[in-house]
Amino acid sequence: MLQAEIKSLLKEDISILIKIPNSGKHYLCDCGEASLLTVKEVQSISAIFISHTHIDHFSNFDGIFRHQIGSGEKVVICGPKNIHQQVEARLKSYTWNLIDENAIAYEIREIVSKDEINIYTLRPPHWNLELINTQNFLFEDEYVNVDFTILDHKIDSIAYLFKEKDTVSFNETGSGFKKGKWISELKTAFENNNGDKEIEIEGTVYKAADLFHLLTRNKGYKLGVIMDHAVDKSNYEKIKAVFGAADLVYIETFYKDSDQEFAGINHHSFASASGNIMNECEVKEAIPIHFSRRYTESDQEEIETAFYKAFRKN
Ligand SMILES: [Zn+2]
Ligand SMILES: [Zn+2]
């Protein structure tokens, strides 16, 4: 199951680390100040997902690449229009004469629209952008697929949904057979919908379809991160289309209900609005994040109370 940890303290900007259990692989959502993020965690980040580049979401990007350069790995950075130029500008603002070209490779994925993603590479020491191609999906690796929607925050603000891949498990009790390599053959046949595949167990050949009852498909966990967005109908239609029935969603809730006029002015959300949309999405669990830095702990409690009242309708 995917796990998320908020790495920022109250009065810090926002950064959320997503961990894939037993893989040593992490993803990072936004680069706000993050006192709780360790160097070891930064070095395990294989992809960074930026919602938008207001300074509170991007200021700690330098702190991130500071600890990544030298790893020799490829790191993917996904973000809104012009993210490639903004990453390039940040990297070019330092001197890199002691760094060789294999120290790291950044691959930038610029989200132009739902089905137009431009892929660029950036390599040290000169950090010159190279457009590689354009594709119609954002991100997939061996563990997750990442879906997204482009919200309005007076600029594009990308909300991401991490979808863990479904897994297939073997029901050991009741099978009556000895374990063996046939189990992985059966799982492969199941995943490929190949019921005619012949599976040999202890000298006898079976049709895969006759053994499929020994397997169970486990739905992958769905974890969402919705950063800054205005309270408006078209944002909510987009949120519902992507995040409906997710397992857990973190959602920007910058203001208390009593400050909701500022939410309107600054294209942000407020406590009961964020709780309501999470209720409408029928997500299993939701967590409000990214509170105004002038708020105290008691303001945060007020936000959480109003948020959960709207979310749980009780
Ligand atoms: Zn913003
Ligand atoms: Zn923000």
Distance 123 CA to ligand 2 centre (A): 29
Distance 214 CA to ligand 1 centre (A): 49
> How far, in Å, CA of 170 to CA of 186, rounded?
9
Distance 254 CA to ligand 1 centre (A): 10
Which residues are found with C-beta within 5 Å of the ion, ligand 1? Answer: 54, 228
- Nearest bound ligand to CA 12? 2
Distance 252 CA to ligand 2 centre (A): 8
> Please, which residues bridge with residue 228 across strands?
none
Give pLDDT, residue 286.
98
- Nearest bound ligand to CA 267? 1
Distance 56 CA to ligand 2 centre (A): 6
Distance 14 CA to ligand 2 centre (A): 8
Distance 54 CA to ligand 2 centre (A): 7
Q: Could you read off the pLDDT tens digit of each residue along the chain, which spans 314 residues?
A: 899 999 999 888 999 999 998 888 999 999 999 999 999 999 999 999 999 999 999 999 999 999 999 999 999 999 999 999 999 999 999 999 999 999 999 999 999 999 999 999 999 999 999 999 999 999 999 999 999 999 999 999 999 999 999 989 898 877 788 888 999 999 999 989 999 999 999 899 999 999 999 999 989 999 999 999 999 999 999 999 999 999 999 999 999 999 999 999 999 999 999 999 999 999 999 999 999 999 999 999 999 999 999 999 86
Q: Give the dihedral of Cα atoms 49, 53, 56, 61; nearest 10 deg.
A: 60
> Please, which residues bridge with residue 54 across strands?
none
- Nearest bound ligand to CA 289? 2
Distance 295 CA to ligand 1 centre (A): 17
Distance 139 CA to ligand 2 centre (A): 23
Distance 54 CA to ligand 1 centre (A): 5
Which residues are found with C-beta within 5 Å of the ion, ligand 2? Answer: 56, 228
Give pLDDT, residue 177.
87
> How far, in Å, CA of 230 to CA of 217, rounded?
38
Query: For domain 3-165+220-312, which CATH number applies: 3.40.50.1980, 3.60.15.10, 3.40.50.300, 3.20.20.60?
Result: 3.60.15.10
Distance 129 CA to ligand 1 centre (A): 26
Give pLDDT, residue 22.
85
CATH 3.60.15.10 residue ranges for the chain: 3-165+220-312
Give pLDDT, residue 156.
98
Give pLDDT, residue 175.
78
pTM over 0.85, yes/no? yes
- Nearest bound ligand to CA 155? 1
- Nearest bound ligand to CA 54? 1
Distance 228 CA to ligand 1 centre (A): 5
